[in-house]
Homo-oligomer: A and B are copies of this chain.
């Protein structure tokens, strides 16, 4: 098939994004649509009606994932699944997740209305949760479908208001066996389009990013215990200054990260005790978030950095504690799907690059479960998780057009 000119569907995309953003709209022009909240419930229910109006067969599963199905005529059992997540962060923007749902909906509708039923079954999915913004658990939607997550994980979880996960789920009508179990074994592949949430495409003036890997992530909490002391009467050489030593470690790891290819290492949070101007800090705790698309690079970096941490804290007579609380492996996208998608993009002469995703996506959960492809459109100034996130209508339309052609090739030929 020939893709449309971008202009033909820009209006339709914008309208549907604005419509979705109205569920959970905030005073700051942002979106707060947390899992199982009232705006979330209304968004999923109205999306279901929208899918129905397009002629799709609709159903929820028992965690609240919403599916719109166009049954294939030849291979109806195996499903080409496409979509993204409907939940947002607190005060997020209107593109993250929502754009992937809109893109899949419009692509599937376009094909269905133009060519009728596909040979292979297509399902558009509005995944219930990806961000981990309400409960301390992320990828609840994709994880429930693929078996990464199970109901028994959520019984002890509560949100910031103390509401139990199970109760929130029940109040939205889910987790009550009223819908099919979310676990699926009929997914042939998963396709997602998403805003980049970074500045690589914009900086390189490219319209599309074909994602080759989603980075692995290791996260740690590092605590240094020194000795709190008087800032005036304790000579420099008699100090066990937890903050000054933490700064040494953070300075070192940042410099080292800058020398690596493609690796990012971030200390985003630091807490100091007693945190008083004229007292040498007795304790400093900071987080470390390290990401790379190759597991070996991740492991080597952390190991070398921690050797340095140990050496310095030993020298300073400071106690070091390193607690790891995340170890997500890198995930490779499917090479055959990447190659097919790239061929379409090249044919349309759209400026693109192959790239790594530094952010987590539902595609990383599907990527270890079934062949998966992820396509990025640019994020203006890389701004993400903010009411200010923005992608031009042209770029949004290009993403939808490529997904349409890709779905056509996979489901109709």
Binding site for B on A (CB under 8 A): 196-200, 203, 215, 217, 219, 229-238, 241, 243-244, 246-248, 250-251, 254, 257-258, 263-270, 272, 274-281, 287, 289, 291, 357-360, 382, 384-385
The residue among A199, A203, A278 with the most chain B CB atoms within 10 A of its own CB is A278
Q: Quick one: given A233-B384, A234-B199, A382-B230, are A268 and B250 in contact (CB under 8 Å)? A: no
Contact B272 A198 (CB under 8 A): no
Contact A230 B385 (CB under 8 A): yes
**Number of identical protomers:** 2
Chain B neighbourhood of A267, CB < 8 A:
243-244, 247, 281
Partner of A250 from the list B199, B247, B289 (CB cut-off 8 Å) is: B247
Chain B neighbourhood of A384, CB < 8 A:
230, 233
Contact B233 A359 (CB under 8 A): yes
Contact B358 A219 (CB under 8 A): no
Chain B neighbourhood of A358, CB < 8 A:
230-234
Q: Quick one: given A238-B199, A247-B254, A277-B287, are A266 and B219 in contact (CB under 8 Å)? A: no
Chain B neighbourhood of A360, CB < 8 A:
232
CA distance A265 to B215 in the complex (A): 40
Give A272's nearest chain B residue, CB to CB.
Answer: B270
Chain B neighbourhood of A281, CB < 8 A:
267-268
Partner of A232 from the list B264, B270, B280 (CB cut-off 8 Å) is: B264
- Distance between A375 CB and nearest chain B CB, rounded to angstroms: 15
Pick 17 A–B contacts, CB within 8 A, sort by A: A196-B233, A198-B233, A198-B235, A199-B233, A219-B278, A231-B268, A231-B289, A231-B291, A232-B291, A232-B357, A232-B359, A234-B358, A236-B263, A244-B254, A267-B281, A268-B279, A269-B277
Chain B neighbourhood of A276, CB < 8 A:
268-269
Give A235's nearest chain B residue, CB to CB.
Answer: B264
Partner of A236 from the list B203, B230, B264 (CB cut-off 8 Å) is: B264
